[in-house]
Amino acid sequence: MKISRIPLAFFDASSIIDSMIEMTRKQREIERRTGEILRVAKPILVGEGFQALSMDRVAAKMEYAKGTIYNHFPHKEEIVLALAIQAMDLRRKLFECSAASGSDSRDRMMAIGVACEFYTHHCHEEFVIEQWMRTHSVWEKSSQQRQNLIRQCEGQCMAIVTGIVRDAIRDGDLTVPVDMTHEEFVFGFWALTFGNQILIASSPSLPALGIHNPARAIRIHCATLLNGFGWQPTTDLHGYIQRAEQLTAALTPQLHLLRREHLAASY
């Protein structure tokens, strides 16, 4: 009597499927635990500073063995960069939303300024995390992989803004000096706004120095810079500030929604 034999391939395929399911479960568990580590580490870093953050403390709060934390992050600097990547991803989303608004390229550039102000004031934790990420001691100890991800995040934000500049040039609203790249042009506005945000966050003595409304002051500087480059349509300072307030009122609800969605996804 001939005995039928089930092909070995059947068992092989079944084993492969089981392995794939198990790998997916492991990946989900890794992602879940990584997210939990970041959730525990974030308030320590933001509220108490880099020195207060330690692998021991994170492990104790999570009631895990310290080795479990090291399975996900080799040292706390990597935790800081992982948090910074999340923060900069939120900044990118705010930029994308703002860049899509406005009636013309100059309006869209002003909307980016609104996004910068929103990020500083309403995404304070993310802003603080970015500052820690930029410190020499943290950056130098972090992995090349995460450094590349940070560069990618910054590049995406830069691309959004340079895209507005290219549109302005294409539409005849702006002429960039021939010896300046689009990125160098954007860098001037970046330095102006980011430097202002750093000073607001770190200098409680500004009122004593006669600077009572730094946000208004930086808007005036930005308006002067835009007019100086001849970015059309030019406007007087009063008109610029009025338009900035209109954009802020229109964009703020959308930016708040993006922030809530981002935080919900992160947690």
The mean pLDDT value for 6-31 works out to 61
**CA within 13 Å, CB half, 92:** 17
Share of the chain above pLDDT 70, in %: 91
Average pLDDT value over all residues in the chain: 90
61-106 pLDDT, tens digit per residue, is 999 999 999 999 999 999 999 999 999 999 999 999 999 987 899 9
Integer angstrom CA distances of residue 201 from 121, 125, 128, 133, 245? 9, 12, 9, 16, 21
Handedness of CA 156, 100, 247, 164 (dihedral sign): positive
pTM, entire model:
0.87
User: Which pLDDT does position 212 carry in this prediction?
Assistant: 92
User: Which pLDDT does position 203 carry in this prediction?
Assistant: 87
The residue extents of the domains of the chain are: 7-73, 84-266
Identify the CA nearest to 147 among candidates 88, 93, 91.
88
User: Which pLDDT does position 223 carry in this prediction?
Assistant: 95
User: Which pLDDT does position 201 carry in this prediction?
Assistant: 84
Does residue 235 register a pLDDT over 60? yes
User: Which pLDDT does position 18 carry in this prediction?
Assistant: 56
Give the contacts of 55 (CB within 8 A, at least 6 positions apart). Answer: 66, 69, 70, 73, 75, 76
The CATH number of the structural domain formed by 7-73 is: 1.10.10.60
Q: Please name the amino acid found at residue 12.
A: D
Does CATH place domain 84-266 in 1.10.357? yes
pLDDT band at residue 6 using 50, 70 and 90 as cut-offs: very low
Answer yes or no: are the C-beta atoms of 81 and 133 closer than 8 Å. yes
Would you put residue 65 in left (φ > 0), alpha (ψ -120 to 50) or beta? Answer: beta
User: Which pLDDT does position 102 carry in this prediction?
Assistant: 79
Handedness of CA 164, 158, 95, 186 (dihedral sign): negative
Identify the CA nearest to 192 among candidates 234, 212, 155, 220.
220
181-219 pLDDT, tens digit per residue, is 999 999 999 999 999 889 988 888 999 999 999 989 999
Answer yes or no: are the C-beta atoms of 142 and 219 closer than 8 Å. no
Does residue 42 register a pLDDT over 60? yes
Identify the CA nearest to 139 among candidates 190, 80, 187, 91.
80
